[in-house]
Structure 1
Amino acid sequence: MSALRGAKFNSGALFCRDKIAAMRNRSLAFLMLLALLPEARAVQLPGLDAFIDEMVQRHQFDRGALESAFAQAKHRQSIINAFSGPATRKPWPEYRANFVESRRIRRGVAFWLQHREALARAEQRYGVPAEIVVALIGIETYYGRDTGKVPTLDALTTLAFDYPRRADFFRGELEQFLLLSREQGFELSEVKGSYAGAMGIPQFMPGSYRRYAVDFDQDGKMDLLADTVDAIGSVANYLEQYGWKRGESVAVRSSEFSGDGDKSPRLVAEWSNSGVSPLDSVAVEAAQNAALLEFAMDDGKESWLTFANFGAITKYNNSTYYAMSVFQLATAVKAAFREAQ
């Protein structure tokens, strides 16, 4: 109190400071409240009403049922943020290590042993080796253990109406999801998957689900959400439809290319004339077309000749890193499976 003696007391300034502090506190409280509120309802998205009209007219959906479903759907800003963020690519050794690792290999063997009959039948029917199907499912959902937790209706609605860059694609997938749910008897609000709308054990987009899913256990349903046998047959069917060639290789290590920089696909015989030849004892036809890929390693680079079956895997995910991870995981699982016999 003694420090105040002789000093002028500006009550007006103190009042203003208190008022500003109170306003800041109220603003902070309001922002905290907003953070706790559920994400915005999707019915507020422009274009959704017109989409519902189109679905009613084109596919005879019940308007009330669609309006009720979309009234419960949520716009998820986190999905937009994930799609809009800067594209980053891990170095190949780091990317590979996420998938080609001991636990995933062991569980791949266990998955193969558990479903060997379905895998053998899929290989016989579609020509896709068991280890490739195992590896794909292992990378996509850890053998069905992690199929995604994002409501598919939320994901597709958010991307269809608030991601202009690929709005047409996701509107099409939303339409396919509505049709699929009606055909399969799914509750729209209960289906969950990835933040991009991929679903089930093999992570098919709805359009791929309708085109390539098969009832492989012949129980009258094409259930990729919970039926592993259907998932196995559907993955093999998908790859066959995208050009998988029975009995042919996926990729083979090769010597390095020291030519003029032209690495466009060509016949294996032509690669040999350019000094690029397989390093592994894999049967490769000289008349087979091959693309040369190089992967940067910690101590240099690896060169690979890749074939049509490698290209088929990229139709599942358009990434050479992804396709090579599938191939190398498949190779490792196959070796471990043989040892387990």
Structure 2
Amino acid sequence: MRFKVALLSLTVLLAACSSHSKNQKQADQEGKAPAPKGGFLLDREHNVQPLFGDFAGNPAADRFVDMMVQKHGFDRAQLQAVIGQAKKLDYVLRLMDRQAPSYTPPTGPNGAWIRYRNKFITPDNVPNGVAFWNQYQDALERARQQYGVPPEIIVGIIGVETRWGRVMGKTRLLDALATLSFSYPRRAEYFSSELETFLLMARSEQDDPLDLRGSYAGAMGYGQFMPSSFKQYAVDFNNDGHINLWDPVDAIGSVANYFKAHGWVAGGGVAVPASGQAPALENGFKTRYTPAMLQAAGLVPQGSLEGNQQVSLLRLDVGTSYQYWYGLPNFYVITRYNHSTHYAMAVWQLGEAVGKARSNNPF
């Protein structure tokens, strides 16, 4: 992943912050006007070469380049050379539009949770999780000790996100983020911030932004971090001097750090099954009930609530009926990774299934 092209080499990018006197000397030698703050040179007519490529003439792209030059000291010509190679991907726009389809609640149970769960917890998939855990058990145990997050949760996250590195996405991240920044007005502000952080990451880690690949929405590596999550939570867990989310050890430490930062309770449970039904109560990971309120509605926990006086009410559609659970604080923490009850339950249950299979078949 080391930076291979001269377009955004560390030398060029740092040169954007060179002193005025150095720019003046260069300008005198080249017969050009002095460089303004930002570190690029204008020609004698004070005209900057326009952006080329798929985003040529795109006002959002032009504004983005201006911002990166003024705010972060990027060399304008070099940055334009990179943005100019970004491709507008129509399939990315189509996929983003499908992320918020119209939803009509079912009139009764239809097995939605079973279908979702069966995407991940399968006889073929679980052994792959065992193999991943066995291969990286030292890093997983170190993450438990340092961050308090058990291997089951980290293995579950990476399993659900990328099948333990088998499906990390093939879209060039520069293309995805540029497309969504400059050609998707509905969320342009968010993705422009992600593109900004992505380019800063490439500069600081000496990665080639033209090489890095991930999801169509810009998620990266084993744990599918967005660039903003990289900035806040990614760590150099293999101690090689670089943060690389495509390295499984760095990914393990980064996922664990993410969970700790979001309030993971070391040694705490995740969810407790309930007996009974509570069709009149609102459910979901955002709900908050006292155990007494749920008991009054007819629910009884089938395990310890660990003294928690506030829990969420989770409802899973198992086909012929609904299954209710008490969500503990750690369940809510999992939803900080993806805001979905199904997602959080799948992460937890996949990790548990892998842990059980590993215990039954020690290597």
User: Which residue of the partner structure matches residue 258 of structure 2?
Assistant: 238
Q: Which residue of 2 aligns with 1:266?
A: 289
What residue in structure 2 maps to residue 285 of structure 1? Answer: 306
Larger Cα-atom Rg: 1
Displacement of 1:47 in angstroms is 1.1
What's the CA shift string for 1:6-30, capped at 9, x where partnerless? Answer: xxxxxxxxxxxxxxxxxxxxxxxxx
Q: Is the CA contact (8 Å cut-off) linking 2:147 and 2:260 kept in structure 1?
A: yes
Q: Which structure has more helix as a fraction of its residues?
A: 1
**Which residue does 1:125 correspond to in 2?**
146
Which of 319, 337, 341 matches 1:320? 341
- Report whether the alignment pairs 1:219 with 2:240: yes
What are the ranges of 5 or more consecutive residues in structure 1 without an aligned counterpart?
1-39
TM value normalised by structure 2: 0.78
1:272 deviates by: 3.2
Q: Is the 8 A contact 2:269 2:328 kept in 1?
A: yes
- How far apart are residue 65 of structure 1 and its match? 1.1
Q: Output one character per residue of 1:101-158: Cα deviation in whole Å (capped at 9) or x when no partner.
A: 1222111111111111110110111111101100110111111122111010100111
1:233-283 residue CA offsets vs partner (Å, 9 max, x unmatched): 10010011111111111111112333753554123344334432222xx43
What is the aligned length? 299
Secondary structure in 2 matching 1:43: coil
Distance in 1 (alpha carbons) for counterparts of 2:308 and 2:342: 26
Corresponding residue of 2:271: 251
Q: Paired residue for 2:101?
A: 87
User: In structure 1, what is the Cα distance between the partners aligned to 2:229 and 2:204?
Assistant: 14
What one-letter code is carried by the residue in structure 2 that aligns with 1:248?
G
2:188 equivalent in structure 1? 167
Q: CA deviation at 1:88?
A: 6.9
After superposition, give the CA deviation of every residue in 1:149-208 in whole Å (9 maximum; x if it has no partner). Answer: 101010011111111111111011011001111000111110100000001111100111
| Separation of aligned partners in 1, 2:136 and 2:223 | 15
Segments of 5+ residues of structure 2 without an aligned counterpart are: 1-52, 104-110
Give 2:360's aligned amino acid.
Answer: E
| Alpha carbons 2:314, 2:326 under 8 Å: kept | yes
Once the two structures are superposed, what CA deviation does each residue of 1:198-229 show, in whole Å capped at 9, x if it has no partner? 0111110011111101111111111112x111
- SS across alignment from 1:123: helix
CA RMSD of aligned residues (A): 1.8
Indicate if the aligned counterparts of 1:43 and 1:70 stay in contact, CA closer than 8 A: no
1:56 aligns with 2:69: yes
Please give the secondary structure, in 2, of the residue aligned with 1:291: strand
Match of 2:230 among 198, 209, 232: 209
Maintained 8 Å contact 1:252/1:304: yes
Partner of 1:32: none
